[in-house]
Chain A
Amino acid sequence: MRLLRSAAMQGDPGPQPLRYASINGRQLFAMASAWPELATGRLTGTYHAVGRERTQIMDAAFEIVTTRGFDSLRPASMIFEHMSLGPPAQLAITLGCRGPFFSFEADPLSGIIALQQAVEDLEEGRCEQALVLSYMLEPPAAWALLLDGEGPLRAAFRYGGGEVAAVEPAYDRDPHGLGALIQALEAATTGSPAIVLARAPGGRQVSVRFETAGAGPT
């Protein structure tokens, strides 16, 4: 496995709640569309980590409906912007990502679960590269990373306890944990093994250990 690209972006909240989703979708698009690997025609999977922004998006739509009426949401493309699937699906459409498409809602485990699915699909040959992404609305931000199945990077996922010396995401700024995963992947790419542990209320937890083959465990 190899980390081809990664990006994290803090955004502008925009003029009103209605625009939050589309603004963050455009941020994602701006990030990923600049990556030449996505224009190569390789079969690309899309893996979306999502959480409470689903309700925030819907709140924005309800606010519009109640203040301006349902007709203000026409045409259909406007509805699409108010679905959590909208930005990642639009990205897949625009960039021609024809491989597996997943959306995971499991805060604060969404990011690590999305990454696990991406790694499995790369390992099992269901896609040639994997775009993992998430965005949040308040404060607006977006993350994206692109992996392929080549290279010495390895990821081992584990449910339940047992991992030590792990980094935990800062959930207030990184609610799906993708920012922490990007940092760990970047570290492992340079030869520093890293562990990220994501924990949900009630004791559910997932960890991932990134290593570069030949670098040795910590």
Chain B
Amino acid sequence: MSEPVAITGWAFASPFGTDEASFWEGLCHGAPPLSTWRSEPMFPGLECGAAQLPGPAGSPADRVRALATDLARRALAHAGHAAPPAGLGMGLGSYWGEIDYLALPPRPAPPPLLPLLARDLGLSGPTANLPVACASGNYALAWAAARIRRQDAPVMLAGGLDVIGPAAVGGYIFLDNLCAALPLPFSPDRDGFLLSEGGALFVLEPRDAARAAGRPIRAVLRGYGNAHDASHPTRPDPAGGGLVRAMRQALARAGLGPADIGYVNAHAPGTIQNDPGEAAALREVFGPAGVPVSSTKAVLGHAQGGANALEALACILALQRGLAPPTRSVAAADPALELDVILGAPREFSPPRALSLASSLGGATSAVILERGAQ
């Protein structure tokens, strides 16, 4: 039950495209690929700055289904599976994928997503969506890893994805969450996040079984933790209590201490409210020694349910290169946060483990620890 969980493959779609070189270049040296998202005539004036996926338009439900199917097939191929293996399951993290549509007459509601994906992809194992808003992707990774550890499935697809739709845009506008120009996580001038879309799916397998089958161990999912702030519906706990519990749970599960983590990919979407609580949590867990931290949402924007999966990919690519991506667009970090924020250019880091944090509207928190795999 305690066998490490290997990540043997992945596929992703981001505003920087679908190839690793462009994605990494965008993380380290790019700027947010800005566009303007405009809703349908039904909601005149509903628009926002956005970082959108390249590719054809369509209804959110149709796009999510197509994206999930494409990512799943490419991820399995990346891991060396020529066909979906028997007992394959999926932990999906998508908040808006199934509900961000306009079902009012004359349009019917689309059919449920999971049965369609199960049929499209031949899923016969544990399959669930974990709609935990902005933390959906981390939750999906954690649940899927548990299914591997518990031997409920031999192989799991796991990750998150979302596309931009009217419900998400309307909600975030009403919550005053969106930035006026650029997202500036950790900056004293931060004023909100850039809405984006996309996501990633990973292939999880028991490490020893994957190794025996000759599959690449590209990374290892060492630990994960989940908690709740129990503080406020729309504002994070200023003391970061939920994040502290999630990080400590993840470290305990991995049998690691704070000094074993070389890099933290923060939740840090760029909102005024997030950063003090997240900084307090990091100071509490990592103490005076601190840890290098960055926010890749500065260039990727906030891909909603897909955010954590793209951030997990950023962590894995960082582990492979020994370089942590910076917080682009930010010249100086808010000194009140007292964090070692990586700015400007990528930074070398060690030990070769990264911790990815997530917080959701409503107060759920999550931490995932990734380790460099055997290359």
Contacts and interface: CB of A to CB of B under 8 A. Distances in A.
Contacts of B118: 200, 202, 204
A180 interface: no
A71 B168 CA distance: 15
Given A55-B99, A92-B230, A93-B232, A204 B127 contact: yes
B363 A101 contact: yes
A9 interface: no
Contacts of B99: 54-55, 57-58, 84
A37 to B, nearest CB: 16
A155 interface: no
B197 interface: no
B130 A105 contact: yes
B115 A85 contact: no
Nearest to A90: B233
Nearest to B46: A70
A62 B103 contact: yes
Given A84-B131, A104-B128, A159 B233 contact: no
A176 B362 CA distance: 22
B175 A76 contact: yes
Contacts of A97: 228, 230
B233 A77 contact: yes
B123 A204 contact: yes
A55 B103 contact: yes
A70 B131 CA distance: 24
A116 to B, nearest CB: 9
Interface residues of B, number: 60
Contacts of B114: 105-107, 200
B128 A110 contact: yes
Contacts of B211: none
Given A62-B104, A202-B119, A83 B133 contact: yes
Given A70-B174, A93-B231, A100-B228, A54 B98 contact: yes
Given A70-B170, A86-B362, A104 B130 contact: yes
Main secondary structure of the interface of B (DSSP, over half): loop
A93 B167 CA distance: 24
B167 A58 contact: yes
Contact of B112 (A52, A61, A95, A160): A52
B16 interface: no
Interface residues of A, number: 57
B360 interface: yes
Interface in A62-100: 62-63, 65-66, 70, 73-74, 76-77, 79-80, 83-86, 89-90, 92-93, 95-100
A54 B230 contact: no
B337 interface: no
A212 B353 CA distance: 42
Interface in B194-240: 225-234
A59 interface: yes
Given A73-B174, A76-B175, A103-B131, A55 B98 contact: yes
Contact of B152 (A104, A126, A159): A159
A29 interface: no
Interface in A199-218: 200-204, 206
A80 B153 contact: no
A130 to B, nearest CB: 12
Contact of A99 (B126, B146, B227): B227
A106 B363 contact: no
B58 interface: no
Which 6 pairs of residues, A with B, have the shortest CB-CB distance? A89-B362, A106-B128, A101-B228, A105-B129, A100-B226, A101-B364
8 contacts: A74-B174, A92-B363, A100-B249, A101-B132, A105-B130, A117-B143, A159-B126, A202-B119
Given A103-B132, A126-B225, 9 more contacts: A61-B167, A76-B175, A77-B233, A90-B233, A93-B232, A96-B230, A100-B225, A105-B114, A159-B87
Interface of A: 46, 50-52, 54-55, 57-59, 61-63, 65-66, 70, 73-74, 76-77, 79-80, 83-86, 89-90, 92-93, 95-107, 109-110, 113, 117, 120, 126, 157, 159-160, 200-204, 206
